Amino acid sequence: MCTGVIYWTGIGRIVYALSERRLLALAGDDPENPTFDLPCREVLSRGQREIDVVGPLLEDEATIAHQGFWTRRTS
């Protein structure tokens, strides 16, 4: 959904830190964070205009904000 909004609003670049797969590994099956295994690059490959995608960047650093959060919620 976020990728679609970025596409339709005309934003030309997506830069992100944490991959969906890494987030899923941190969050597990928490119902508050349902995920798709559908990378934004794949979604954008079906569009009519090109959007630059940069990432994941600093993935280890980005996990810090999530460490302990998802386990606290499910305990």
Q: What is the pTM of this model?
A: 0.77
CA 49, 13, 26, 69 dihedral sign is: negative
Q: Of 58, 72, 74, 67, which is closest to residue 23 (Cα–Cα)? A: 67
Collapsing DSSP to helix, strand or coil, 17 comes out as coil
pLDDT number for residue 37: 80
64 pLDDT more than 80: yes
70 pLDDT more than 90: no
Instruction: Give per-residue pLDDT as tens, 5-61.
Output: 999 999 999 999 998 888 888 888 777 777 778 889 999 999 999 999 999 999 999
What DSSP element (H or E) covers 53?
Answer: strand 52-54
What DSSP element (H or E) covers 41?
Answer: helix 40-44
> Is the pLDDT higher at 4 or at 70?
4
